Amino acid sequence: MKRRLIINIGLLAGIGHDGRICLKGKEMGALHTLLNAYLVVEDGHFTDYGKMEDCPLSDDNVEVIDAKGGAVLPSWCDSHTHVVYAGSREQEFVDKIRGLSYAEIARRGGGILNSADRLHELGEDELYLQAMKRVSEIIRKGTGCVEIKSGYGLNTEDELKMLRVIRRIKATTPLKVVSTFLGAHAVPRFYKDRQEEYVDMIVNDMIPVVGTEKLADFIDVFCDTGFFTPEETARILEAGAAYGMQPKIHADELASSGGVEVGVEHNALSVDHLESMVEAEIQLLKDSHTIPTALPGTSFFLNMPFAPGRRMIDEGLPLAVASDYNPGSTPSGDMKFIVSLSCIKMRLLPAEAINAATLNGACAMGLSREYGTITRGKVANFFITEPIPSIDYIPYAYTTPIIQRTFLQGEEYV
């Protein structure tokens, strides 16, 4: 059994919340901390922590790691990403600067369809290598749990290619990965003006293969204006449920178009985006087990409204935040920056934003019993920062690279 003792921790944050799978409303303002602390990790799990004055003696069987006054936090839990994709889309970035909207670019055949074209031409091995560069990047930036979606295939063969790559990432990285099937990300060109036929293919061809091969933990639909209707979404979700895939829904990015409602009706674990959500949907979520997830990086990059994160917390909801890392609308998986945006643009307090990016992010992946806080018995995913004056410094210093060392399953990632 491998044992590590981290000493001289200036600030140990995100401790406790024993037994809580998420934090709601006012609870999100409590980020439990301990000054001048130690932390014990055994066999990949947290086993103890406390004040340095009470630190246990080390022996030859213990590896001692000196935090040198830095802070220790649980790893970020990023519950919405698209990190498996082919190439980049910087030309669309220029188009947006020139004034084209996300919807206009999509109507011209760009956006998701552009990524689908590129992915179709790329072999599985190269797709995996490209994705692993991004995976390494987000680990070094402090992420320890991540959800990865398909959705740039838009035909059975290419969707399966993406999901197989996600399975390889699960098997070859210490990052905790959950997978989501997003065949209903857009309607491919071949099915233009025949959207019902494409939905038929998702239900009758894609889902049975994905489900039988157990390639996805969750199922998602882009339920929004110009993409998939609530009725189509419900049909797809019901087909996925037959194979044990719980929904995680793209909802209310472009308009309040029924995504939250269909997500709640079908027991979605989360509804994500919410830039256009309305008050009635906030009230609907209060009576559900569905976690609203804001993606402030998307709003920042696309110059869109931000989800009403402050309002959701004030109404007692368990808000999560995630990166939406993808090639078109958010080419960044930097969760520290997402925490900063949550504070600056959605008016979350630093403790609320950090809880939204850790414990509540884990909950939005069904992982919060094992991840998201530094709690005895949970998996030891954490990072050590440079010495910082307070926890508020993390979102305040919004571009400063403060993370010095990262650990996944108790092992340092180098």
Measured in residues, the chain has a length of: 414
Q: Report the percentage of the chain scoring pLDDT > 90.
A: 89
Q: What are the two backbone dihedrals, phi and then psi, of residue 272, each rounded to the nearest 5 degrees?
A: -120, 150
Residue 2 has what pLDDT? 81
Matching fold, domains 3-75+373-413 and 76-364: no
Residue 1 has what pLDDT? 60
Q: Is 253 annotated for ligand binding?
A: yes
Q: Is 200 annotated for ligand binding?
A: no
Report the alpha-carbon distance of residue 345 to residue 94 in Å, rounded: 24
76: which strand partners?
143
Q: Is 289 annotated for ligand binding?
A: no
* Strand spans (E) along 45-190: 45-51, 62-66, 71-74, 76-78, 143-149, 176-184
Q: Is the pLDDT of residue 112 over 80?
A: yes
Report the alpha-carbon distance of residue 248 to residue 182 in Å, rounded: 9
3: which strand partners?
42, 62
How do residues 229-256 score in pLDDT, each as one tens digit? 999 999 999 999 999 999 999 999 999 9
Report the alpha-carbon distance of residue 327 to residue 322 in Å, rounded: 15
8 A C-beta contact, residue 192 and residue 159? no
Q: Is the pLDDT of residue 105 over 90?
A: no
Q: Is the pLDDT of residue 185 over 70?
A: yes
Domain boundaries, the chain: 3-75+373-413, 76-364
How do residues 167-182 score in pLDDT, each as one tens digit? 999 999 999 999 999 9
Structure tokens at 295: 């993606």
Q: Is 89 annotated for ligand binding?
A: yes
Write down the architecture of domain 3-75+373-413 according to CATH.
Answer: Roll (2.30)
Q: What are the two backbone dihedrals, phi and then psi, of residue 204, each rounded to the nearest 5 degrees?
A: -90, -25
pLDDT band at 106 (very low <50, low <70, confident <90, very high): confident
8 A C-beta contact, residue 259 and residue 249? yes
Q: Is 155 annotated for ligand binding?
A: no
Q: 171 CB contacts (<8 Å, ≥6 apart)?
A: none
N-term to C-term CA, the chain: 21
Report the alpha-carbon distance of residue 217 to residue 28 in Å, rounded: 27
- Radius of gyration of the chain, Cα coordinates, nearest whole angstrom: 21
Q: Is 390 annotated for ligand binding?
A: no
Q: Is 250 annotated for ligand binding?
A: yes
Q: Is the pLDDT of residue 123 over 70?
A: yes
Structure tokens at 154: 């838009």
**101 or 262, greater pLDDT:** 262
How do residues 269-298 score in pLDDT, each as one tens digit? 999 999 999 999 999 999 899 999 999 999
8 A C-beta contact, residue 235 and residue 206? no
Q: Is 324 annotated for ligand binding?
A: yes
Interstrand relation of 33-42 and 76-78 (parallel, antiparallel or unpaired)? unpaired
Q: What is the mean pLDDT of the segment spanning 334-358? A: 98
Report the alpha-carbon distance of residue 404 to residue 386 in Å, rounded: 6
Cβ count within 10 A of residue 197: 11
Q: What is the 3-state secondary structure (H, E, C) of 342-376?
A: HHHHHCCCHHHHHHHHCHHHHHCCCCCCCCCCECC
Residue 15 has what pLDDT? 96
| Domain 76-364 grouped into CATH 3.20.20.140 | yes
Mean pLDDT of the chain: 96
Q: What is the pTM of this model?
A: 0.96
Q: Is the pLDDT of residue 111 over 90?
A: no
Report the alpha-carbon distance of residue 228 to residue 185 in Å, rounded: 8
Q: Is 347 annotated for ligand binding?
A: no
**100 or 164, greater pLDDT:** 164
